[in-house]
Structure 1
């Protein structure tokens, strides 16, 4: 019987599978753990990741808030084995966020603009 198992390559020097990024820690520059990557929002037209949605707070998945972070604002740090975003916990508390009870309307372009404006002003990018 032929071996039909395909070895899954889920990471290269330049690429990584989305399920390996989900659950990865996000840190502040001061090495404070801010949360973990919950999922991505991908632009259907360009195919690029627009936002990494970070889970913040809560206990055992209860009471979490979700913060969409512009993908370009994250930098992978090999030593931390996580992403770094130039935010403090206080800045994050004022950032656009939602809970599982208050899901945003991603179809509303104003929602995306509010996220982008917040981080452009906060991160200076």
Structure 2
């Protein structure tokens, strides 16, 4: 009998477990590398960019923010945004994330450029981000 090797690449790319007793259960966990680079759209199907990076709170292990690259072309120009990860909703069938905001909202959100990141250890910066997005702040 041949031993089959598990192909995690397919599972991570599609967000579905394709084999075993729990095949195709709802997606509960993904690797960071399968999230980074994923497209982001709003509910109307408008392109809002892609996930450039993830910000992990080392005290509690939570992914607090996705850094979304909006408006760049081939990595040039554009603006980065710290978006509370809870604002993103996975669409596993389309292999992308949905952010329930329109493009005009993103154009008005305070952001930063790739060469001038905010102080990511400054708790007040992330409190400001949470206030702007209307999401609760987590304790340090």
Runs of 4+ deviating beyond 4 Å: none
Counterpart position of 2:8: 9
- 2:42 maps to what in 1? 28
SS of the residue 2:8 aligns to: coil
1:29-108 aligned at under 5 Å gives the runs: 29-108=43-122
For residue 14 of structure 1, report the CA deviation from its aligned partner.
2.2
* Partner SS for 2:45: coil
Size of the aligned set, in residue pairs, is: 116
User: TM-score, normalization: structure 1?
Assistant: 0.84
Structure 2: distance between partners of 1:104 and 1:7: 40
Which runs of 5 or more residues in structure 2 are unaligned?
Answer: 18-26, 136-140
Indicate conservation of the 8 Å contact 1:96/1:114, yes or no. no
Alignment partners' CA distance in 2, 1:55 and 1:71 = 14
Residues 44-77 of structure 1: per-residue CA shift (max 9 Å, x gap): 0110100011111122111131111100011001
Deviations 1:74-115 (A, max 9, x none): 100123321001111010111121002321111211110111
Write the distance in 2 (CA, Å) between the matches of 1:79 and 1:31: 14
Equivalent position to 1:109, from 105, 118, 123: 123
The answer to which of 41-50 and 10-19 deviates more is 10-19
When Rg is computed on C-alpha atoms for both structures, the one with the higher figure is 2
- Looking at structure 1, the residues matched to 104 and 67 of structure 2 have their Cα atoms a distance apart, in angstroms, of 18
Q: Once superposed, what is the RMSD of the aligned Cα atoms?
A: 1.8
Q: Judge which range, 52-61 or 100-109, deviates more.
A: 100-109
Aligned counterparts of 2:35 and 2:53: Cα–Cα separation in 1: 8
Q: TM-score, normalised by structure 2?
A: 0.75
Query: Any unmatched runs of 5+ in structure 1?
Result: 1-5
Q: Give the 3-state SS of the residue equivalent to 1:118 in structure 2.
A: helix
